[in-house]
Amino acid sequence: MSQVADHAHAEHPPHLHHHFHSSAQQAASAKLGMWVFIAQEILFFSGLFMAYIALRYLYPKTFLAAHEHLDVSMGALNTVFLITSSLTMALAVRAAQTSNKKWAEINLLLTIGFALAFCVVKYFEYSHKFHLGIFPGKYYAYTHIPGNPEVFFGLYFVMTGMHALHVIVGIGLLLWIYLKTRTGAFSAAYYSPVENVGLYWHLVDLIWIFLFPLLYLVK
């Protein structure tokens, strides 16, 4: 009994919270927590995917006609940005694990850069839509698409908007990790936050991988 109790106080690195016995236990808890949180995120988006399935099943022709007004090349460009940012994120995690501070900083900055580029492209896409009069819901004012395209674009704005919100949250998290990396907080002994933000970032990427074909490549 006493060995276990002593073990808790034996070595106490600064990152280890008092209620954990070891760094390994703390890291495993944080990682499981992130995975469980990701499950929650997937269920959150599943509602939107179900709405998409139901409405596309009801109005296949409208979806076909409306999706042609989305810019495939911009969507494809954004897909490339996000996939590449996942690569740089993975490299950043690896660099943190191997205590390679400089390389971790570079890769985190690159990830942030790609994320910002994604937002810029999205901004141009949205403003072009608004320019045409393609607004969400009852503000929809573009008359050149047959059927009831406001339902498609309502979904488009909600789905991509929710995803963009996750990208913006991700940029905040990446920035936080970057600043902490600069202070030398992470090393081979402690890199959980980098790894878990990485998991989150891959999820954001993954959701886009599903959104892109569903919205831009209906044909």
Partner 1 sequence: MTTATDVIRPGGGPSATGHAEEKDYLNVDNSIMSWLFTLDHKRIGLMYLASVLFFFFFGGILALLIRTELFTPGADFLTYFVSGKNAAELKLAAADLYNQLFTLHGAIMIFLFLIPSIPATFGNFFLPLMLGAKDVAFPRLNLFSFYIYVLGAFFFLYTLASGGLDTGWTFYTPYSTSTNTAVIASTFGAFILGFSSILTGVNFVVTVHKMRAPRMTWTRIPLFLWALYSTSLIQILATPVLAITLLLLIFERALGIGIFDPAMGGDPVLYQHFFWFYSHPAVYIMILPAFGVISETISVHSRKHIFGYGFIAASSVSIALIGFLVWGHHMFVSGQSPLASLLFSMITFAVAVPTAIKVFSWVATLYKGSIVFNAPMLNALSFIFLFTIGGLTGLFLATLATDVHLHDTYFVVAHFHYVMVGGTLVAFLAAIHHWWAKMFGRHYNEWCGRISAIFVFIGFNLTFFSQFVMGSQGMPRRYFTYDQVSPELLSIYTRMHQISTVGSMILGLALTFTLFYLAHSLFFGKKVHNDSDLRWTGESMEWKTATPPSPHNFHEQPIAYNSPYDFKEIDHSLGGGH
HSE-CB at 6 with a 13 A cutoff on CA atoms is 3
Return the residue of 15, 23, 29, 206 that touches partner 1, per CB under 8 A. 29
Residues in contact with partner 1, total (CB under 8 A)?
44
Residue 139 DSSP one-character state: G
Compute the least distance from the CB of residue 2 to partner 1, in Å.
7
Token digits of residue 131: 């320019």
> How far is Cα 165 from Cα 200, in angstroms, rounded to an integer?
13
Nearer to partner 1, 59 or 210 (CB): 59
Q: Is 11 left (phi over 0), alpha (psi -120 to 50) or beta?
A: beta
- Site pattern 43..82 for partner 1 (x: CB under 8 A): xxxxxx-xx--xx--xx--x--------------------
Looking at residue 74, its amino acid is M
Q: Is there a contact between 22 and 10 (Cβ–Cβ < 8 Å)? A: no
Q: Using the structure block, give the residue that is written with the tokens 């878990």.
A: 196
2 binds partner 1 (CB under 8 A): yes
User: Looking only at residues 152 through 211 of this chain, which bind partner 1 when binding is defined by CB under 8 A?
Assistant: 154-155, 157-158, 162
40 binds partner 1 (CB under 8 A): yes
SS3 193: helix
Token digits of residue 89: 């994120």
SS3 59: coil
State phi, psi for 18 to the nearest 5 degrees: -65, -25
Q: For the residues of 24-39, what is the DSSP string, one character each?
A: HHHHHHHHHHHHHHHH
Compute the least distance from the CB of residue 204 to partner 1, in Å.
15
End-to-end CA distance of the chain: 66
Nearer to partner 1, 1 or 143 (CB): 1
Compute the least distance from the CB of residue 27 to partner 1, in Å.
10
Stretch that binds partner 1, among 25-33, 75-83, 94-102, 167-175 (CB under 8 A): 25-33
- Site pattern 105..144 for partner 1 (x: CB under 8 A): -------------------------------xxxx-----
37 binds partner 1 (CB under 8 A): yes
25 binds partner 1 (CB under 8 A): yes
Question: Which residues of the shown chain bind partner 1 in the complex (CB under 8 A)?
Answer: 1-2, 4-5, 8, 17-20, 25, 28-29, 32-33, 36-37, 39-41, 43-48, 50-51, 54-55, 58-59, 62, 136-139, 148, 150-151, 154-155, 157-158, 162
